[in-house]
Amino acid sequence: MWLIQDIAWYWFGRSLATANLAYFSINLLLFLIPRFLPRAFEKYFREMGENESKMAEDKRFAAANKTKSADKKAA
C-alpha cells in the first residue's frame, strides 16, 4: 500500500517541478526579457545621456567662471 502511494507522490512531485520549470522558462523568455529588458536599457541610457549633458554643462560653467576670476585678478 505505501509503495504505490510513495510512487504516486514521487511522480506528482516530479511533474509539479517540471510544470514549474516550464512556467518559469516561458515567463522569463517570452515575457520578462523581451518586454522589460528593452525598457530598462532605454531608461538607463536616457539617464546616462542626461548625466553626460549635465556634466558637460557644469564643465562649461566652471571654465567660464575660471576666466572671469582670472580677468578680475589681472585687473
Q: What is the pTM of this model?
A: 0.52
Q: Tell me the per-residue pLDDT of 7-40, one tens digit each, with 9 for 90 and over.
A: 999 999 999 999 999 999 999 999 989 998 899 8
Distance of CA 47 to the CA centre of its chain: 13
- DSSP string computed for 20-65: HHHHHHHHIIIIIIIIIHHHHHHHHHHHHHHHHHHHHHHHHHHHHH
Domain spans in the chain, listed from the N-terminal domain onward: 36-75
